[in-house]
Amino acid sequence: MAKSNRVLVVGGYGTVGMLISDLIARRHPDVDVVVGGRRFVTAEAAARLHGLAGALRIDVTDDDPLADVDPLPAAVVVAVNDHNDRLLHSAARRGIPLVDIARWLARIEDAHRTLAQERVTAPVVLASGWMASAAAVTAAAHGGGVPADHVDIDILLSLKDKTGPDSATGFVDVHLPFELWERGEARTVRGMSEPRPVTFSNGQTRSCSLFSSPEQATLVTTGHARGVSVRMAFDNRPTNAAFTALVNSGLWARLSKERRFGILHSPGEKDGAPHEFVVTIKNGPDTRRILVKDPEGQAHLTAAGAVTQLERVLGLNGRDQPNPGISFPEDAKDVMADVAAMESMGVRFTELSRSQAGSAAPARTA
């Protein structure tokens, strides 16, 4: 089966998947965007509503999810959890480039094991760091080409923001211990521990606590930093304090996973809100702080990050294509092109004044 100019977005009718599909179609009218998902009727309705090329039933739990796809797509974007790596394997054996934005750290290790016995002939970009690895890309793009002594990524979550269910999944086990890197060595920490105050835009200061995110490992393994810490806080002070206390008291761990997920994910009507994070890059006496903010919120920023990686694997807009096999967004030789692409989609990158020591008052565009 010959490959086409089609891009298949699996999970394409979800909150983030639909935004990915729309952004691809808007930026590349010559690319046929196909919405894939377990429910064909839903996928078809979404494709028709948004004027996309078509829809396919794709179930990641099938033994070979792409077995009946004809023609094969030029690339696959995975916006759902590929729990058993069947979609990954199905794309790899057919030489189809793949971008996966829904794979936490342990699942990255699974991907390596899954493809270890395969002759992989296409790029596999695991863009599952924060906001489809937008945070990792920011650190790589502004690191000056040398490994940073330490990178801090501090995230502000708005309760009004519209997010998909996979966004909540990453916080269900936030209480579990995990490894992070400092000075080139790993150490084990507890989730939601070691709080520190961080000032975001509009003078909002919140107590941010550690949680596990893939860039804590990938920024180190790709040579961009000797240590990385990722922290988060909710914009609502009482909620932030209550959630941190719930986790640190041990009560969170006693709740069922279903109950934890229900607390984190409330799919009711929300007005939407901007999303922001601050990346602090420390190298000796020098410190750079980059504020990244998307006025359209988490889902849009994640979609923008995913689309930049799709453009990489297809070599669109003059991008350098990654080599076959597994890589990460921060591996890109032309990583500043990722920043430029996200900026063109409305994401704002602002370098903060060094004299403000953690304050997020803007100084100049990065």
For the chain (366 residues), the mean pLDDT of every run of 10, in chain order, is: 82 96 97 97 97 97 97 97 96 98 91 93 97 98 95 95 73 93 96 96 95 96 98 96 96 94 72 91 94 96 98 96 97 97 98 57 47
Which of 126, 157, 187 lies at the terminal end of a domain, its last residue? 126
Q: pTM to 2 decimals?
A: 0.93
Tell me the CATH number at 358: 3.30.360.10
Structural domain count of the chain: 2
Last residue of a domain, one of 126, 154, 175: 126
Per DSSP, the three-state class of 181 is strand
Q: Do 92 and 114 have their domain in common?
A: yes
Return left, alpha or beta for 51; rule: phi > 0 is left, psi -120 to 50 is alpha, else beta.
left
Token pair, residue 251, equals 């009560």
Query: Whats the size of the chain, residue-wise?
Result: 366
DSSP, res 227: -
Phi, psi of 32 (to 5 degrees): -85, 115
Radius of gyration for the alpha carbons in the chain, expressed in angstroms and rounded: 20
Q: In which domain, by residue range, is 177 found? A: 132-297+346-365
Task: Give the span between the Cα atoms of 87 and 95, in whole angstroms.
Answer: 12
Secondary element (H or E) of residue 187 = strand 185-189
Same domain, 107 and 252: no
Residue percentage of the chain with pLDDT more than 90: 86
Which of 126, 149, 173 delimits the end of a domain?
Answer: 126
What letters, b where the CB count within 10 A reaches 16 and e where it falls short, cover 203-233? eeebebbbbbbbbbbbbbebebbbbbbbbbb
CA angle in degrees (0–180, nearest 5) for 277-354-148: 65
pLDDT value of residue 31: 97
Closest CA to 267 of 293, 231, 299: 299
The single-letter DSSP state of residue 101 is: -
**H helices of 28-85, where?**
40-49
Query: Both 158 and 74 in a single domain?
Result: no
Q: What is the mean pLDDT of the chain?
A: 92
Instruction: State how far the Cα of 153 lies from the Cα of 144, in Å rounded to an integer.
Output: 17
Supply the pLDDT for residue 169. 75
Is 323 within the bounds of a domain?
no
Identify the H or E element spanning 306. helix 298-314
- DSSP code of 329? G
